[in-house]
């Protein structure tokens, strides 16, 4: 008998307390399982060609703007991923922060791509101040200075819809800045960390590994809740941390990571409240 049928039988015949006990026993056993390492024993080198050349089409307006403005993110081939994550919100975005300015290439590209947004650039180099123009504003300071970052958030009106960290590329700066600024995103904001890993002298993937931890929060499940409760779990009971409730996704690509803010689980409109549940205040 396969495990699904066994599970079905258990649900039919065992009382609730016995099902809970069985679930806890299985979960405890799983904790001791070694981490799976995939070896793909049946993989072939001669895979069939797909009808497209790359997972994301390079024929898009952001690639065209990349060719026009030539920001450094173009040569890293980040623009397809930006297109994928930004295309649907392009005209709604109002506040964009890019950490690391250097030239006006990137901020001008974003200014044109997001026609209704103010683009805030942040750089440690005072020479960048002269690049403020049109809808682009510049803050001069150090991205590892939390007091400065708080000041930037305040001056920009309290939140950003998009934050891009293309600054020092130092692991400790990437992590401090993320810790300080992820909560400064608007409700469904997107935080991007460019240049992670070996390409910036972090072959141990310290930033990537730290951001992997966000996945545990995306997948948060309240202790003691049953799998079958999920359609009625429209909010988490107390015990869920801020990040459990506010991180809805992480996307890793080669050298670039996107972390999505949202309402977990409230973004799912199909959920119903648990019987008798009171929203936590």
Residues that bind ligand SAM (rule: CB under 6 A) add up to a total of 22
The secondary structure of the chain, three-state, reads: CCHHHHHHHHHHHCCHHHHHHHHHHHHHHHHCCCCCCCCCCCCCCCCCCCCCCCCCCCCCHHHHHHHHHCCHHHHCCCHHHHHHHHCCCCCCCCEEEEECCCCCHHHHHHHHHCCCCEEEEEECCHHHHHHCECCEEEEECCCCCHHHHHHHHHHCCCCEEEEEECCCCCHHHHHHHHHHHHHHEEEEEEEEEECCCHHHCCCCCHHHHHHHCHHHHHCCCCCCCCHHHHHHCCCCCECECHHHHHEEEEEEECCEEEEEECCCCCCCCCCCCCCCCCCCC
Q: Does 125 bind ligand SAM (CB under 6 A)?
A: yes
For residue 152, the minimal CB distance to ligand SAM (Å) is 11
Taking the least distance from each CB to ligand SAM, the nearer of 169 and 245 is 169
Which position among 76, 85, 95, 169 bears the catalytic label? 169
Q: Does 234 bind ligand SAM (CB under 6 A)?
A: no
Q: Does 123 bind ligand SAM (CB under 6 A)?
A: yes
Stretch that binds ligand SAM, among 121-129, 212-220, 229-237, 246-254 (CB under 6 A): 121-129
The binding track of 52-71 with respect to ligand SAM, each residue x by CB under 6 A or -, is -------------------x
Taking the least distance from each CB to ligand SAM, the nearer of 167 and 265 is 167
Applying CB under 6 A, which of residues 85, 173, 245, 261 lies at the interface with ligand SAM? 173
Is 173 annotated in the active site?
Answer: no
Q: Does 98 bind ligand SAM (CB under 6 A)?
A: yes
Q: Does 108 bind ligand SAM (CB under 6 A)?
A: no
For residue 99, the minimal CB distance to ligand SAM (Å) is 6
Q: What are the catalytic residues? A: 169
Kindly list the residues in this chain that would bind ligand SAM in the complex (CB under 6 A).
Answer: 71-73, 98-103, 105-106, 122-125, 142-144, 166-168, 173
């Amino acid at each position: 008998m396969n495990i699904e049928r066994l599970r079905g039988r258990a649900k039919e015949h065992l009382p609730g307390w016995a099902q809970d006990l069985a679930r806890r026993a299985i979960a405890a056993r799983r904790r001791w399982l070694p981490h799976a390492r995939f070896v793909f024993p049946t993989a072939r080198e001669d895979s069939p060609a797909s009808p497209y050349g790359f997972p994301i089409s390079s024929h898009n307006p952001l690639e065209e703007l990349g060719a026009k403005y030539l920001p450094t993110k173009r040569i890293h081939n980040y623009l397809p991923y930006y297109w994928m994550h930004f295309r649907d919100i392009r005209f709604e975005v109002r506040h964009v922060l890019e950490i690391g300015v250097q030239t006006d290439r990137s901020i001008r590209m974003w200014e044109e791509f997001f026609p209704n947004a103010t683009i805030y650039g942040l750089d440690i180099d005072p020479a960048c101040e002269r690049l403020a123009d049109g809808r682009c504003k510049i803050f001069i300071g150090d991205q590892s200075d939390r007091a400065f970052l708080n000041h930037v958030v305040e001056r920009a009106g309290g939140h950003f819809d998009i934050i891009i960290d293309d600054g020092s590329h130092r692991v400790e700066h990437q992590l401090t800045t993320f810790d300080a600024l992820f909560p400064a995103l608007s409700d469904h904001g997107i935080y991007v960390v460019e240049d992670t890993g070996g390409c910036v002298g972090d072959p141990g993937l310290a930033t990537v590994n730290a951001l992997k931890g966000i996945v545990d929060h995306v997948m948060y499940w309240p202790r003691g809740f049953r799998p079958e409760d999920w359609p009625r779990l429209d909010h988490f009971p107390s015990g869920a941390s801020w990040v459990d409730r506010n991180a809805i996704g992480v996307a890793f690509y080669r050298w670039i990571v996107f972390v999505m803010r949202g309402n977990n689980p409230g973004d799912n409109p199909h959920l119903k409240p648990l019987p008798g549940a009171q929203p936590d205040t």
